[in-house]
């Protein structure tokens, strides 16, 4: 009988391996690289063989472990020989199955899996459009190199091939799209490793897109004078649009809450809870929901109430703003197309408004989020409280999310600071 279980090991950091045992013979398979997020030993429950809920990406990582172990469990039930023989048979089976999967087929497989993951409101988690765009670039690259893209197997991907794609993007597209192509190709390789097609280790030295050094990055913010001017602008003189007032109210809503535009658009009245006698929006950010151990808790002030009341009669299905609806989510052809369309129009509108405010930079929805963070900290609100309220990490807090539900003094400081 072959015994199979997961086992944490190593003295430095958390590592996990699959242990297979039979009559004194043991085989180990390290699965640490397949897991997502920064995992610690305390996150692993050895008895239950799963990650506890507070672990980053716990649901996704547990699903990865179940999927990875399935083929070994199935083989162990059917196999009557030695452990060594079973492992050799599995390796032969793996190498033969890999030959039949092309890059194009594997990308379709990823998109199908993404389509099955849903947010609470029914919209799809993850953006499959990035994979569609990445495949289009791969097709263009292969056409340029006179390679038959349809016949390239996922197992045939190599580091030189990836670097050649990057070089082509730099030369033919002036580097446009390098970030998303690098990110998506890396994601494809990691997912291919989970399925047993590739080893991510072989691609470590690729010229992956490197993020800017955030320690020196300067974020654009609005001054209090510019915020007051924004509130008083005669918008029709700058740009005639039926959405002028909605756009302005929405920007002030971001300014008060400090949320990203996509999170603010998905807020619903059902997200409101009473904490210490004060109404709060309590929710997890869409982008990091699976690894966010503590929900954002944003106190609601009178100005936010006024904005919400103004648009409540136009909003549908319990949403705060008249952008999302169940019907749009179900019928739109593009994943989260309603959100992307609204934010795209808003950012184009903000470019014109930014000139009227005398901004030396392109005004963007994230400018209001960065302004809010800067404003609250400058008014004495504890950084940890701001970190939790905004649903973002702060290096000085060592990525710790603070549960502020009992911190009434910090909450009161936020409510006092909500005056621009």
Residue 174 backbone zone (phi > 0: left; psi -120 to 50: alpha; other: beta): left
Give residue 318's pLDDT. 94
Q: What does the pLDDT look like over 123-163, one tens digit per residue?
A: 555 567 788 889 999 999 999 999 999 989 988 899 999 99
Structure tokens given for 359:
């901004």
Give residue 45's pLDDT. 92
Length of the chain in terms of residues written = 420
Residues of the chain with pLDDT under 50: 214-215, 395-406
Give residue 131's pLDDT. 87
Structure tokens given for 186:
């890396």
CATH class for the domain made up of 224-417: mainly alpha
Give residue 285's pLDDT. 80
Give residue 255's pLDDT. 94
Domain residue spans of the chain: 3-98, 103-203, 224-417
User: Which residue do the tokens 């909500």 mark?
Assistant: 418
Give residue 289's pLDDT. 54
Give residue 403's pLDDT. 30
Give residue 398's pLDDT. 27
Q: What does the pLDDT look like over 362-372, one tens digit per residue?
A: 999 989 988 88
Give residue 399's pLDDT. 27
Give residue 397's pLDDT. 28
Residue of 352, 256, 333, 341 lying closest to 299 (CA atoms) = 256
Q: Are 111 and 131 in contact (CB under 8 A)?
A: yes
User: Which residue do the tokens 């089976």 mark?
Assistant: 93
| pTM (2 d.p.) | 0.59
Q: In 3-158, which residue ranges form alpha helices assigned H by DSSP?
A: 58-78, 83-98, 103-115, 129-145
Q: How far, in Å, CA of 161 to CA of 174, rounded? A: 19
- The Cα diameter of the chain in Å comes to 83
274 CB-contact burial (10 Å; exposed 0-12 / middle 13-18 / buried 19+): exposed
**405-406-412-414 Cα dihedral, nearest 10 degrees:** -40
Residue of 5, 99, 87, 16 lying closest to 55 (CA atoms) = 16
């Amino acid at each position: 009988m072959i015994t199979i279980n997961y086992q944490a090991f190593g003295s430095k950091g958390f590592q996990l391996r699959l242990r297979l045992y039979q009559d004194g013979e043991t085989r180990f398979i390290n699965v640490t690289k397949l897991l997502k997020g920064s995992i610690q030993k305390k996150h692993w429950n050895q008895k239950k063989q799963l990650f506890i809920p507070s672990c980053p990406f716990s649901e996704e990582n547990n699903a990865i472990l179940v999927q990875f172990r399935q083929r070994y469990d199935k083989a162990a039930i059917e196999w009557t020989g030695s452990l060594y023989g079973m492992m050799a048979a599995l390796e032969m089976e793996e190498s033969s199955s890999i030959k039949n999967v092309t890059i194009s087929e594997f990308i379709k497989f990823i998109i199908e899996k993404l389509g099955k993951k849903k947010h609470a409101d029914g919209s799809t988690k993850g953006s499959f459009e990035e994979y569609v765009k990445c495949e289009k670039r791969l097709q263009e690259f292969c056409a340029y190199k006179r390679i038959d893209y349809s016949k390239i197997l996922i197992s045939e991907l190599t580091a030189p091939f990836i670097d050649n794609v990057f070089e082509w993007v730099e030369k033919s597209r002036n580097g446009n799209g390098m970030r998303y192509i690098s990110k998506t190709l890396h994601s494809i390789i990691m997912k291919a490793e989970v399925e047993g097609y590739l080893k991510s280790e072989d691609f470590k030295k690729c010229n992956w897109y490197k993020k800017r050094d955030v320690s020196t990055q300067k974020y654009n913010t609005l001054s209090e004078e510019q915020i007051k001017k924004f509130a008083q602008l005669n918008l029709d003189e700058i740009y005639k649009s039926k959405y002028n007032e909605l756009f302005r109210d929405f920007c002030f809503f971001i300014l008060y809450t400090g949320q990203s535009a996509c999170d603010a658009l998905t807020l619903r009245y059902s997200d409101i809870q009473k904490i210490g006698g004060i109404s709060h929006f309590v929710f997890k950010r869409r982008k990091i929901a699976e690894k966010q151990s503590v929900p954002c808790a944003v106190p609601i002030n009178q100005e936010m109430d006024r904005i919400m009341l103004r648009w409540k009669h136009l909003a549908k299905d319990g949403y705060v703003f008249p952008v999302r609806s169940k019907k749009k989510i179900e019928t739109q052809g593009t994943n989260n197309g309603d959100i992307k369309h609204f934010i795209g129009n808003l950012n184009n509108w903000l470019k014109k408004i930014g000139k009227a405010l005398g901004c030396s930079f392109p005004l963007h929805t994230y400018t209001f989020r960065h302004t809010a963070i800067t404003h609250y900290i400058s008014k004495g609100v504890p950084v940890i409280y701001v970190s939790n309220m905004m649903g973002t990490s702060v290096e000085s807090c060592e990525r710790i999310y603070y549960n502020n539900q009992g911190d009434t003094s910090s909450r009161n400081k936020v409510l006092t600071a909500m005056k621009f």
